[in-house]
Structure 1
Amino acid sequence: MEYKDYYKILGLERSADQAEVKRAYRKLARKYHPDVSSESNAEERFKEVNEAYEVLKDPEKRAAYDHLGAGYQSGQDFRPPPDWDQGFEFHGGGYTGADSAAFSDFFESLFGGGGFRQSYGHGQRRQFNAQGENTYARIAIDLEDSYRGATRQISLKHSVLGADGRPQLRERTLKVKIPKGVTEGQQIRLAGQGEPGIGDGLSGDLYLEITFNPHSLYHAEGKTVYLDLPLAPWEIALGAKVQVPTPDGPVKLTIPANSTNGKKLRLKGRGIPAKQPGDMYVVMQTVTPPAGSDAQREAYRQFSDAFDFNPRQSMGG
């Protein structure tokens, strides 16, 4: 998908304050409104202007967009960096009065369904003596934290309007208890850690959505955990007893003779712990040793002579 330079679309510098954003939008919206414009590309430009304004008028969206940096060029092929919005604290609410279907894939990849803020329902309007709004953030933990539970310090960024009218990032640090058995996508509620209430109103809550840091050995899907297990060809063919790492400690595993590459062996209850624990699956992966010496090459020749085997037979080779 193409990167959208929302500042360029509105003819603004990145230092523009919110009043300048609004003025630029109104000017361009009048110029390109399809009902009055004589420009040949009026409809397309009007959509671009609306999309840019949807992001830059919202201090939270704008702060997150600015966090991507100014190193991208308009029209450049773009994919959001992994967990680009992680650690941003934002208020509940979907699109602010705009038709999201009219927006580009670029917008959807950053702010669309299941992303930055679309999935959290509608925010609460503030009133005198009203409860503060709930806030939301996404944090990454280690898979082992889910197995054992943990207490972690996290830093969250949230945006406020500065004296110059531009969104500015503020950071706060919280101590968070990670419950044993938490899964990716699950939310942890921190009561009273959202926006302060107005007047005598109670503070809102903070909801932390859990993601797992990339792991060198495991990956999780729900409560199920997977491990790719390297095996020598003779271990796959002849069977073996091997020691296998798990997040709960190593276990002895029997590899059946004449197994196949990609076969899964189930370790019941060794997945993420819960009232009904998940399972762990060990996926066999054949690793072929290199033939680095004359003796090793001769061993491979003898191996080849011992078998009438063509791995490409089904392809007609």
Structure 2
Amino acid sequence: MAPRRDYYEVLGVGRNADPDEIQRAYRKLVRAYHPDVNKDPGAEDKFKEISEAYSVLSDPETRRRYDAFGHDFRQVPPDVDPAEWARARAGAGARAGAGGQWRQARPGDFGFGEGVDLEDLLGGMFGGRGRRQWGPVPGADQEAELTLSVEEAYHGGRRAITLPGGRRLEVNIPPGVTNGQRIRLAGQGGHGSDGAPAGDLLLIMRIAPHPRYRVEGRDIHASLPLAPWEAALGATVALDTPGGEAKVKVPPGTSSGRRLRLKGRGMPNPRGAPGDFFAEVRIMVPARLTDEERRLFEQLATVSHFDPRGRS
């Protein structure tokens, strides 16, 4: 069996990489090797390896244990001191070396040959207490991101997602989720050992950029194009929102940049008041004027004393 690769090597980052660097590397690799995108025969195995590495290195506690114990971190009891572990493995390495079982260590691989028994090693560290007496170890919590459009975040619904390791799951997204909101899926995280319960999956919502809407918390912002006469005389105009068409009352004398508020037409909130929708006015002029339009604009320019630059 081929030796397991160091998780840092799998993601292509250094051992001192910060969480943002790890996440960027993971996203880049997932886009390249996701089975829905990459049809190469080895892409799915590569994707699973990437997902496993990220699930370990993205969790600070799991990463700390991996840095201390390598790929054995799931088998090492939580109360083991890393320094004591290092001394024990050094002794085991010396014994293995004497028997011809020592091999060259790799990053993240602590150099045990196949002749070294992990239970024997740990038994020596704990006065003969073997692995079977450690008790069940619950699975670790994991995190995954789910990107939604503004409309999907507004309405909610069921979505199929691919979890770390390539596992697929259908989840129910409640209406009105916000960017960065976390949904906890009990029992969908890392597997426990010896019958212990699985960890939870924390699903982080990410709202994708939208050509018309900008979401800030539960408030939604959008542009409201108006003709000059609508802005000058006032009007009631139709405006698309994620929740459907809305009517906006434009007061007379409205200028570009003015924000008109539609109370409660932002993101829904199952536990309180919904957000608001803000329409920012943009006054538009025709790119080409008909002869009659030009005559009327010239007439307006002649009779109007309005100075938009405020000069006296």
TM range (shorter): 0.5 to 0.7
* Structure 1 outlier segments of 4+, above 6 Å: 58-61, 123-126
Aligned with 2:260 (options 242, 258, 265):
265
Cα deviations by residue, 1:224-264 (Å, 9 ceiling, x for unpaired): 11121111111111101111222222122211100121111
Cα drift, residue 216 of structure 1: 2.7
Aligned-partner Cα distance in 1 for 2:264–2:240:
15
Q: 1:94 to 1:147 in 2, by over 3 A?
A: same
Are positions 1:132 and 2:159 aligned together? no
Q: 1:153 aligns with which of 139, 147, 160?
A: 160
TM-score scaled by length of structure 1: 0.58
> Which residue, out of 256, 269, 280, partners 2:277?
280
Amino acid at match of 2:179: E
Which residue of structure 2 aligns with residue 162 of structure 1?
A: none
2: distance between equivalents of 1:183 and 1:144?
12
Partner of 1:90: 55
The whole-number CA distance in structure 1 between the counterparts of 2:227 and 2:237 is: 11
Q: Work out the CA distance in 2 between the residues paired with 1:247 and 1:284.
A: 18
CA distance in 2, matches of 1:301, 1:145: 48
Q: TM-score, normalised by structure 2?
A: 0.59
Q: Is the 8 A contact 1:60 1:90 kept in 2?
A: no
Using the TM superposition, give the Cα deviation of residue 60 of structure 1 relative to its aligned residue in structure 2, in angstroms: 7.8
- Write the mapping of 1:194-205 to structure 2, written as runs, cut at 5 A: 194-205=189-200
User: Does structure 1 conserve the Cα–Cα contact (< 8 Å) formed by 2:215 and 2:221?
Assistant: yes
| Contact 1:124-1:133 at 8 Å conserved across structures | no
1:308 equivalenced with 2:273 (yes/no): no
Is 2:258–2:280's contact at 8 Å kept on the other side of the alignment? yes
C-alpha change, 1:240 and 1:181, in structure 2 (3 Å) is: same
- Structure 1 residue runs of 5 or longer lacking an equivalent are 1-16, 23-50, 70-86, 98-122, 159-169
AA at the equivalent of 1:52: G
Q: Give the total of aligned pairs.
A: 215
**Unaligned segments of structure 2, at least 5 residues:** 33-49, 65-72, 78-133
d(CA) in 1 for partners of 2:259, 2:296: 29
